[in-house]
Amino acid sequence: MKCNCCLGMKLTEHKCREKGLETNCPICCDFLFTSSAAVRALPCGHFMHSACSGIHLQSLHLSYLLQILGRYEVYFGMLDALLAAEELPEEYRDRCQDILCNDCERKGRSQFHWLYHKCGSCGSYNTRVIKTDTADCSTPN
């Protein structure tokens, strides 16, 4: 009951993801929680409209998709380097956000950023912010 959404009675397996549908579809940008169109859960933990996922998958070249799926550690390393080189404005430097990792399913805190939030448990960037207000990193979780 963490995901706060209604599911079909015939659904036998469901991995509850906290507030998973309280986001926009990454393709059409419609708010998923109030959408009447069918929604699809992706293995990575993200959601999008079923029709949008079909359109999106058709637009990807298969070899490119395989490169992305097989090289997350390279991609995460690139994000580490990008974040290390980026200097946040002073008012955000000591801020953190509460996050939920879609890979290891653990909650944690990550240094504030507008786009990227690294999981402290598994090192993945496949995360989402679950508490949008920022808190000082020195405050316990």
The CATH number of whichever domain residue 80 belongs to comes to 2.20.28.10
Name the more confident of 65 and 101.
101
Same domain membership, residue 87 and residue 53 = no
Number of structural domains in the chain: 2
Same domain membership, residue 78 and residue 51 = no
Same domain membership, residue 28 and residue 6 = yes
53 CB neighbour count, 10 Å cutoff: 20
pLDDT digits (tens, 9 = 90+) for 86-127: 888 888 888 888 999 887 889 998 888 888 899 999 888 888
Give CA–CA dist 64/82, Å, rounded.
22
Full residue range of the structural domain in which residue 90 is found? 71-136
- What single-letter amino acid sits at 42? L
Report the sign of the C-alpha dihedral through residues 22, 26, 28, 29, in that order.
positive
129 CB neighbour count, 10 Å cutoff: 17
Q: Which helix (H) or strand (E) element contains residue 129?
A: strand 127-136
Contact 89, 112 (CB under 8 A): no
Same domain membership, residue 42 and residue 1 = yes
Same domain membership, residue 55 and residue 76 = no
